[in-house]
Amino acid sequence: MDVEKIVLNGERNVTLTAYTQPVEGEFNHISKRPAVLILPGGGYSMCSDREADPVAFPYLEAGYQAFILRYSVGEDSVWPNPLDDYEQAMALIEERADEWKVLTDKIVVIGFSAGGHLAASAATMSQHRPYAAILGYPVIEGDCAKIYEKTAPDVIAAVDENTCPCFVFATRTDNVVPVKNTIHLLDALEKHEIMFESHIYSHGSHGFSVCNTSVTADPEAYSNRVPHWVADSIEWLKDIMGDFANGQMKQPRFSKSINGNREPFLNVDCTMAYLSGKPEAMKIIEPIMHMSAGQGQEQAAQVDGAAMMEALKLMTLRHLLSYAVTYAGMSQDLIDQVDEQLRQIPNK
């Protein structure tokens, strides 16, 4: 492994540390690697060493290149300085991607506490949008952010449909950055149909990093699930980003989108709510629905019809069609056929 420390901004004391691993040769199934860009916490007044190297190690083990950004803090943390530091770091990684063997479309940002605020800003406001963001006990809301840096923006307001997938973890009993920061972020991600995974562990105080005995003298003060976020985040990244195979990354098992509503063409992964506003699509779908109707009518007396219709709208067409296949005896090929038809229709 090579180590290189680069000064990005001497005046503001901003540095990027690069830990890069070899590819090919004995790693002949890997030609380039995904990367993590780590943003330590520290209340915008310092960058904690406890949330730097100890975080890099497990991702290095998982095969990632690891970068640590020590961004502008103290008097220099006036916004948008920290986000500018992030953009500069990403630009440099892209520039040296061939040398550092980095897959530039697979860079994941990881931030903790105030660094989680910066990572969440990267996820929502940056030019160099990361593939995904891992946010540890993050500062999210404007009220909380202002405690550490008066000029720091509210992240909730910036969540939109272009926000990247997020993995968010925190503890219920954190009384430095209250857990409502995390909950309200999840709420915003949900509203804007963004993919996420979230783990809120019951017990543990703020700032636990990877929560092993190398970073905390008192592991007993934390619920024993807390350290699980490390392995879980790596598995989550495999879910949505794929894994190493034959010199390039395998297709991921799952989509990084909640549904197909934002693809260039309509498809069976669109929600019924979305498709119901597309007359061309409904011409294809309605006849099938009539054919497979009759299901669920027994329950009709007891349920609220309007509420049920609302529920169906949440489903993707794929999910509804799978019922038609299972319960109404429709052909196994139905889903693929409908998908092919829908993919003729531009999504605009």
Give residues 255-284 in contact with a copy of itself (rule: CB under 8 A). Answer: 258-259, 271
The site map against a copy of itself for 46-65 (x = CB under 8 A) is --xxx--xx-xxx-xxxx--
CB 202 within 8 A of CB 171: yes
Q: For every residue of 118-161, which 3-state class applies, written as one string?
A: HHHHHHHHCCCCCCEEEEECCCCCHHHHHHHCCCCCCCHHHCCC
Q: Is 254 in the site for a copy of itself (CB under 8 A)?
A: yes
Instruction: Give the three-class secondary structure for 269.
Output: coil
Among 9, 31, 104, 198, interactor with a copy of itself by CB under 8 A: 198
Rounded to whole angstroms, the Cα distance separating 219 from 238 reads 28
The token duo for 117 is: 């605020």
CB 56 within 8 A of CB 66: yes
Of 128 and 263, the one with the shorter C-beta distance to a copy of itself is: 263
Q: Is 190 in the site for a copy of itself (CB under 8 A)?
A: yes
Q: How many residues bind a copy of itself (CB under 8 A)?
A: 100
Of 179 and 345, the one with the shorter C-beta distance to a copy of itself is: 179
Using CB under 8 A as the binding rule, the residues of this chain from 79 to 118 that contact a copy of itself are: none
Q: Is 236 in the site for a copy of itself (CB under 8 A)?
A: yes
Instruction: Give the three-class secondary structure for 2.
Output: strand
**Helix or strand holding residue 18 (H, E):** strand 14-20
Of 121 and 171, the one with the shorter C-beta distance to a copy of itself is: 171
Q: Which of 220, 85, 115 is nearest to 177 (CA)?
A: 115
Number of H helices, E strands in the chain: 12, 10
Q: Is 217 in the site for a copy of itself (CB under 8 A)?
A: yes
Using CB under 8 A as the binding rule, the residues of this chain from 14 to 53 that contact a copy of itself are: 19, 21-22, 25-30, 43-45, 48-50, 53
State the nearest-atom distance from the C-beta of 258 to a copy of itself, in Å.
Answer: 6
Q: DSSP code of 17?
A: E
Using CB under 8 A as the binding rule, the residues of this chain from 116 to 175 that contact a copy of itself are: 143-144, 146-150, 165, 172-173, 175
State the nearest-atom distance from the C-beta of 174 to a copy of itself, in Å.
Answer: 9
Among 74, 128, 276, 289, interactor with a copy of itself by CB under 8 A: 74
Among 2, 95, 99, 280, interactor with a copy of itself by CB under 8 A: 2
184 φ, ψ (degrees, to nearest 5): -70, -30
